Amino acid sequence: MDITFENSGLSPEILKALGEIGFEEPTPIQAQTLPHLISGNKQDLVALAQTGTGKTAAFGLPLVQMADPDRKGVQSLVLCPTRELCIQISKDIESFSKYTKRVSVLPVYGGASITPQIKALKQGVQLVVGTPGRVIDLMKRKALRLQDISWLVLDEADEMLNMGFKEDLDTILSGTPEDKQTLLFSATMPPEISRIANEYMHDSIEISVSRKNTTAENVKHTYYMVQARDRYLALKRIADMTPDIYGIVFCRTRRECKEVSEKLMHDGYSADALHGDLSQVQRDYVMNRFRIRNIQLLVATDVAARGLDVDDLTHVINYNLPDEPEVYVHRSGRTGRAGKNGIAVTIVHSREVNKLRLIEKKGNFKFEREMVPNGREICEKQLFNMVDKMENVDVKGEEMEKFMPVIYKKLEWMDKDELIKKFVSLEFNRFLAYYKDAPDLNITGKEKGRRDKSGRSERGGGGRRRDSNNFSRFFINVGQKNGLNPSKLIGLLNKQFRSEKIDVGGIDIMNNFSFFEVDSDFKEDIPKAFSGSSFQGIPINVEPANAKDSSSRGSGRGDRKRDKGKKRKRTFSKRR
């Protein structure tokens, strides 16, 4: 029997709310999940579905249905990785429960005053949606008691692990009863998710609406191959070639995110940034502007973009490839939603072709290479777009008529051809000037320094620039004798940084000291981050290796414990 909202067991009150929202029939993940949960089956559940498939309703509707308004204590806890996602889930559940009397939902997250959240909990709520850090704060204050909850939902659990929340999850789960039902919802299925299921869940079943690690069929996957230093120039040409673009540009780090967005805004593009350094007020402001299309390009990190729910994106642009294929799948799933077509664009250099092939294999699709457009192509595109806008502009007849005699008199000396050229040139001259003699950015195997008409290198800046995959080496004054090993060193890095992912290269653990490598983009941040910190009671000193490296090698050679697989890329997450 086909599952509908009407025959799924949902209450009339919830059905009425769904009707107002515009939900007509369940999505595949909802059709499989609703009967299992509403029937009262207490078996733990792992549900896999890509972004935009309705996961929130899949667990939110049953939680509203099963809530007991006569019980004042918290009955359901939904854990999610970011404030944005917390707010979005809470709003969705509130809309589901609009006509369900005396059932309330409370979002709890950092960046907002904890006092109103404590007050609301004392008054009694049935459903709590929260980020791990704030949930633990409320537990410590004994404002949030989880010993009697019936349902625990882990939403975006893979991302919570990537952000370093494993210890927080352990703390929260230890305060929940054994007989609760645990529901894990995720867009991807990396090995970490399997470990969560094995460690935290019992006799769970798995529901999947499609093959793992596949992307939407209505998303076109393209890539442009340029020199690494030409990424930004390629991004501008992609935007200029698509005047009506509305998309997210994904960057690897918050620093890169800030740099790219600032360059775009400086160059006159409708853009802004979303990253971990923004306050909640700033983030809300940027996200609201993006939702109403006051911003065409939102430059974001993967973590910051969680919870941003927009259905009509035309493009997702990977300024850099993510480290994991599953992350690419998640990114590309933000376009081509609600039955619309979308384009996932990736800017790569020649050394990243193998990563493209791995993503193709994991995602079961093919990338199409496209050539970065040249100046003539962009100018033609912009010209025709301008003419189309002029043809379709709404003329305010009566108001314009009063000004027309003056305008006719002012312009009567020009003929039609000259008049058209001048009006078009008002907007078009800057494209003609910028792209005149613009170099070819596509990798051809014969790459030389290229300069635009003004004599500036279009690659941006003189001198050698590091590729973002290079590492900088640092000295740290603790080693094996102090109990340090590679895992603890990465944990130490995690503790000092609390936002995004940074690549870690080689780790050399010696007797009295150690060396480690991190992405060169963060070489200025590392010493500052460790200032004033300690390990096992020992004040930590971290500084660039250089002289320390060579002078210390001899003294520690016999005791060195070199981490196997030096130069292997690792990632530590800066937790929110």
Which residues have C-beta within 8 Å of that of residue 370, sequence separation ≥ 6?
Answer: 222, 223, 224
Backbone angles phi, psi at 22, to 5 degrees: 105, 10
Number of domains making up the chain: 4
Residue 1 lies in a domain: no
The rounded distance, in Å, linking the Cα atoms of 128 and 493 is 31
Residue 445 lies in a domain: no
Question: Which of 153, 175, 208 lies at the terminal end of a domain, its last residue?
Answer: 208
Nearest CA to 315 among 217, 236, 238, 227? Answer: 238
Residue 402 lies in a domain: no
Q: Does residue 125 share a domain with residue 49?
A: yes
Q: What are the structure tokens assigned to 264, written together?
A: 């775009």
Quick check: helix, strand or coil at residue 132?
Answer: helix
Question: Which of 345, 372, 399 lies at the terminal end of a domain, its last residue?
Answer: 372
Domain range for residue 412? 375-391+408-439
The rounded distance, in Å, linking the Cα atoms of 251 and 271 is 14
Residue 534 lies in a domain: yes
Residue 5 lies in a domain: no
CATH of the domain at 516: 3.30.70
Q: Does residue 345 share a domain with residue 385?
A: no
pLDDT for res 210: 57
Q: Does residue 417 share a domain with residue 351?
A: no
Q: Does residue 260 share a domain with residue 350?
A: yes
Do 45 and 205 form a contact (C-beta atoms < 8 A)? Answer: yes
> In terms of C-beta density within 10 A (0-12 exposed, 13-18 middle, 19 or more buried), how is residue 203 classed?
exposed
Q: Does residue 196 share a domain with residue 249?
A: no
CA torsion through residues 77, 80, 82, 85, sign: negative
For Cα atoms 327, 34, 60, give the angle at the middle one, nearest 5 degrees: 65
At 448, which amino acid appears?
A: K
DSSP state of 230: G
Q: Which region holds residue 68: left if phi is over 0, alpha if psi is between -120 and 50, else beta?
A: beta
Q: Does residue 73 share a domain with residue 200?
A: yes
Other CB atoms within 10 A of residue 276 CB: 19
Nearest CA to 126 among 73, 185, 179? Answer: 73
> In terms of C-beta density within 10 A (0-12 exposed, 13-18 middle, 19 or more buried), how is residue 378 classed?
buried
Q: Does residue 238 share a domain with residue 95?
A: no
Place of tokens 């590729």: 467
Q: What are the structure tokens assigned to 108, written together?
A: 């709890």
Q: Does residue 21 share a domain with residue 168?
A: yes
The rounded distance, in Å, linking the Cα atoms of 268 and 433 is 15
Residue 129 lies in a domain: yes
Q: Does residue 382 share a domain with residue 358?
A: no
Residue 435 lies in a domain: yes
Do 312 and 338 form a contact (C-beta atoms < 8 A)? Answer: yes
Q: Does residue 17 share a domain with residue 162?
A: yes
E strands present in 187-341: 205-208, 219-225, 247-251, 271-274, 297-301, 315-318
Q: Does residue 186 share a domain with residue 51?
A: yes
Residue 396 lies in a domain: no
pLDDT tens string, the chain, 576 residues long: the values are 578 898 888 999 999 999 888 888 888 889 888 988 888 778 899 888 766 678 889 999 999 999 998 887 899 999 998 887 888 899 999 999 999 988 899 999 987 899 999 999 999 999 999 999 999 999 999 999 998 899 999 988 777 776 778 788 888 988 899 889 999 987 766 677 777 778 778 888 888 775 444 456 789 999 999 988 899 999 999 999 999 999 999 998 888 999 999 999 998 899 999 887 787 788 888 988 998 899 999 999 887 776 676 778 999 999 988 877 878 887 888 888 767 889 999 999 887 888 898 888 877 889 999 999 988 888 888 888 877 877 777 777 677 788 888 888 888 888 888 887 877 777 677 777 778 888 889 986 444 334 333 333 343 333 333 343 467 889 999 988 888 888 788 878 877 775 455 677 778 888 888 988 887 777 888 888 888 888 888 889 998 886 454 444 444 433 444 443 344 444 444 433
CATH of the domain at 21: 3.40.50.300
Which residues have C-beta within 8 Å of that of residue 463, sequence separation ≥ 6?
Answer: none
Q: Does residue 512 share a domain with residue 434?
A: no
The rounded distance, in Å, linking the Cα atoms of 252 and 250 is 7
pLDDT for res 137: 95
Question: Which of 183, 208, 233 lies at the terminal end of a domain, its last residue?
Answer: 208
Do 51 and 87 form a contact (C-beta atoms < 8 A)? Answer: no
